[in-house]
A and B are shown apart, each in its own frame.
Chain A
Amino acid sequence: DGGITQSPKYLFRKEGQNVTLSCEQNLNHDAMYWYRQDPGQGLRLIYYSQIVNDFQKGDIAEGYSVSREKKESFPLTVTSAQKNPTAFYLCASTLGETSTDTQYFGPGTRLTVL
């Protein structure tokens, strides 16, 4: 079955450590996105990529980094510069890059900073 996988499901990090969240899709979608979700808030866009080897900052990119070396993979690194990284992180993809394209979401990774 086609879809988006995220790993790990739960992740614990000590302060000062960088961690990388995995996102893989086998939908052959061109565009991929990372969102952050906090309780009582909507999704906020961290980074997105419309094509391999290219990505753009979203609304809250500070303290995060990404890469897009392969079409199917879009890992997110939460760096020690991110002041409040505890959150639920969602990866999504779209076939094209327009607003009319349906976003398909992965199951998410819950990151907790100890």
Chain B
Amino acid sequence: AQSVTQPDIHITVSEGASLELRCNYSYGATPYLFWYVQSPGQGLQLLLKYFSGDTLVQGIKGFEAEFKRSQSSFNLRKPSVHWSDAAEYFCAVGVESSASKIIFGSGTRLSIRP
């Protein structure tokens, strides 16, 4: 069955440090890949998405993600985090053509150390 795994439940980084959040998926073909961010008590906002083409995808708020087919990964990165980046981050995988078939990971909570 298709699945998406975010192995890190909680990560703490210092403000100004670089960030990488991991996401691994299980699917035979090339999936549609998404990263969403959720501030406390709020809905989710799309950071970036990958469907095809260049495997390095740029998103909003200075985030980027790289699709690596050989590793079944779609890790999210940011070169320098800001205190406002503290939130929960969800990786999601679309494995069929319908938007109702998007599978969300369990999320990674990011804390920022001053």
Contact = CB atoms under 8 A, between A and B. Distances in A.
Given A90-B44, A100-B32, A106-B43, A42 B99 contact: no
B31 to A, nearest CB: 8
Given A42-B105, A90-B43, A103-B44, A48 B90 contact: no
Contact of A40 (B36, B92, B96, B106): B106
B44 A99 contact: no
B41 interface: yes
A96 interface: yes
Interface residues of A, number: 30
**Residue with the greatest number of chain A CB neighbours at <10 A, chosen from B49, B51, B97, B99:** B99
Interface in B87-114: 90, 92, 94-107
B30 to A, nearest CB: 12
Given A4-B43, A40-B9, A43-B90, A99 B97 contact: yes
Interface of B: 4, 9, 32, 36, 41-46, 49, 51, 90, 92, 94-107
27 contacts: A4-B43, A31-B99, A31-B100, A33-B99, A33-B100, A41-B106, A42-B103, A42-B105, A42-B107, A43-B44, A56-B100, A58-B100, A90-B44, A92-B43, A92-B44, A97-B99, A98-B98, A99-B94, A99-B97, A100-B51, A101-B99, A102-B46, A103-B44, A103-B46, A106-B43, A107-B41, A108-B42
Nearest to B106: A42
Contacts, number: 73
Contacts of A50: 100
Contacts of B51: 100
B102 A103 contact: yes
Interface in A81-99: 90, 92, 94, 96-99
A105 interface: yes
A56 B99 CA distance: 12
Interface string A1-36: 000101000000000000000000000000101000
Nearest to B91: A42
Given A4-B43, A103-B46, A107-B43, A48 B100 contact: yes
